[in-house]
Amino acid sequence: MYEFLEHTADLGLRAFAPSLAELFSEMGHCLMAALLDNPSEIHARQRFRLEITGTNPEDLLFDFLREVLYRFESEKFLSNRFEVQLHPQGLTADIHGESFDPARHVLSHEVKAITYHELRVVQEGSQWLAEVIVDI
C-alpha cells in the first residue's frame, strides 16, 4: 500500500508492507504514480536487473529509488513490477516495464530527485514503513 504525503513545495511518498522487500516494491510503485497519471497503463515488456550494495535500509531505499528514476530520466523506462530480494550485501531487483509511450502514458510530475530529507525506513510492529520526499 502506498500514498502521497502533504508537503508544502514538494511531494512525500509513503508505503507500508509486511516485509522490507515488499516495502521497496511499494515505494517503486509510488514513485511511478508520482511520475504518471495512469500507472496502470505500464506493461511488463522488458526488464533490467539492479544490484545495490549496502546495509543501511535508508541508503538502500534512496539508491534503489534514484536508480529507478534515473532509468526513467535517461531511457524513459517506466516500471510496473519490482521483484526485490534483500541479502546481506545489499539488494538485487528485477524490474519489469516498458518505454514511455506518449500515446498511452500521461505524465504527471517531473520528479527532479529523491531527497534524504526526513527519509525513514522503520519497522512498526509487523509492518514496515517508508517515507521519502521527492523534489518536484
Q: Which residues bind another protein (CB under 8 A)?
A: 4-12, 14, 35, 37, 59, 66, 70, 72-74, 76, 100, 107-119, 131, 133, 135-136
**Min. distance of Cβ 34 from another protein in angstroms?**
10
86 vs 60: CA distance, rounded Å? 10
**Min. distance of Cβ 33 from another protein in angstroms?**
12
> Residue 26: CB partners within 8 Å, gap ≥ 6?
1, 2, 15, 16, 17, 130
Cβ closest to another protein, residue 41 vs residue 73: 73
For residue 98, CA distances in Å to 27, 64, 72, 81, 106 come to 18, 18, 10, 10, 14
Nearest Cα to Cα of residue 34 among 6, 4, 60:
4
Nearest Cα to Cα of residue 65 among 1, 18, 112, 129:
112
**Min. distance of Cβ 11 from another protein in angstroms?**
6
Cβ closest to another protein, residue 12 vs residue 57: 12
Cβ closest to another protein, residue 83 vs residue 106: 106
Cβ closest to another protein, residue 84 vs residue 133: 133
